[in-house]
Amino acid sequence: MLKGIPSILSPELMKIMLEMGHGDELVIADGNFPAASCAKRLVRSDGHGAVELLEAILPFFPIDTYVEKPISLMEVVPGDSTTPVIWDEYKQIIKKNEPAFEEFQMIERFDFYERAKGAYAIVATSEQALYANIIFKKGVVSR
């Protein structure tokens, strides 16, 4: 543990976020996501919900401003009547950190898996809400 770093950010996750550059992607996956079979680099965060992680990550992690929709969600599968309320929570946390944020990019389930396979890392949470997977494209740190 260090002063000023939330304890939910593991040493490995902090290292990975520091290594990432402009355009690299970070997936926060829910508890049912096939994270171990998709991930180039896997960070397990067992027992945690996705919201707690977003709140710890976003104050450090810049979002890409070179693309229109730098944050992506997995679309509800056709025929499934679920309405993911967690998306609103996500929106609030993101807006708090990136006020210019407007809209998510929606990605079909199997396209989402392919996208996740190309991501720099996947954080496997135990989030129990369905369709809680989310991808962040990293932006530029300017001083």
Name the β-bridge partners of 43: 123
Q: Residues near 140 by Cβ (< 8 Å), separated by ≥ 6?
A: 22, 62, 64, 65, 66
By CB under 8 A, name the one of 67, 69, 77, 108 that touches a copy of itself. 77
Q: Per CB under 8 A, which region of 23-31, 86-94, 99-107 contacts a copy of itself?
A: 23-31
Please tell me whether residue 99 binds a copy of itself under the rule CB under 8 A. Answer: no
Number of residues in contact with a copy of itself under rule CB under 8 A: 53
Q: Could you tell me the two tokens for 78?
A: 């056709």
Please confirm, yes or no, whether 90 is among the known catalytic residues: no
72 versus 98: smaller Cβ distance to a copy of itself: 98
Cβ atoms 59, 94 nearer than 8 A: no
Q: Considering the candidates 30, 64, 90, 120, report the single residue annotated as catalytic.
A: 64
Cα–Cα distance, 112 to 132 (Å, whole number)? 12
Please confirm, yes or no, whether 46 is among the known catalytic residues: no
Between CA 36 and CA 70, with CA 51 as vertex, the angle to 5 degrees is 75
DSSP-derived secondary structure letter, 48: -
Residues within the interface to a copy of itself (CB under 8 A) = 1-24, 29, 31-37, 44-48, 52, 59-62, 66, 77, 113, 120, 126, 128, 130, 140-143
Question: Which residues are the active-site residues?
Answer: 22, 64, 113
